[in-house]
Copies of this chain bind each other. A is one copy, B any other.
């Protein structure tokens, strides 16, 4: 655990230690998530076979589970991985992609939620759906609600479960039910490139691998992506180039620059 946590210190720790991050993620996000992890200095591994997920969890510094294109076999493997992470006290993050769209996704998300992820990260529609175990929010995998709309529900979900909950969007909101923070920044083109949210989940797992305070680690990761998005938005005005510049920005980011530009606002007590 970092004694004086800051986003830059966390990023520096990732660069120094290169934590192995085990991803069970969707088929659309594999490429960007792996490249985002490499860009910040982490070591990604993508593995979903039931036969090896527990082994990889035991090697990894953190686990990211994204239910985006799950089949029952992938879900079962994810459950095994999550149970192993819980047993090993390895931090793990749940990304409930599109859980408000179908009963299958909601059931998968709820089953994983019971295995006590360190963090749940979703867009406003996904967190609203999860907090209420209710379908009909969002459009497919995209949000139709704002972060502000679901802050109360996110706080309730965090309080009831004891988990950290992150709602990401124009301004992110993260809470453990007692403490909370907001992260500003980012760029509108982040919503016009597929899998940016999934890559953010992967990056957050890397931050969790080096910073024990899950709330702080999440704030650091969200700030890192927000700053990278702003940098990319200055270099690119269309999504093809923006995706390239986002990876460039993650790679080039200096810890000092991240500390300077991070717009993290703690709402209750400082960590």
Contacts and interface: CB of A to CB of B under 8 A. Distances in A.
Interface stretch (A160-168, A237-245, A261-269): A237-245
A48 interface: yes
Contacts of A109: none
A31 B32 contact: yes
Contacts of A92: none
Interface stretch (A68-76, A115-123, A169-177): A68-76
A47 to B, nearest CB: 6
A152 interface: no
A68 B46 contact: yes
A167 to B, nearest CB: 19
A105 interface: yes
A45 B141 contact: yes
Interface stretch (A4-12, A50-58, A82-90, A215-223): A50-58
A194 B38 contact: yes
Interface string A89-105: 00000000010011111
Contact of A240 (B27, B102, B247): B247
A159 interface: no
Contacts of A60: 140
A254 interface: no
Contact of A245 (B22, B34, B45, B240): B240
B34 A195 contact: yes
A146 interface: no
A49 B246 CA distance: 31
A20 interface: yes
A49 B104 contact: yes
A234 interface: no
Contacts of A38: 191-194, 239
A8 B193 CA distance: 23
A165 B1 CA distance: 43
Q: Which 5 A-B pairs have the closest CB atoms?
A: A240-B247, A238-B248, A45-B140, A34-B194, A240-B244
Given A18-B139, A20-B140, A46-B69, 4 more contacts: A31-B31, A35-B240, A192-B251, A240-B245
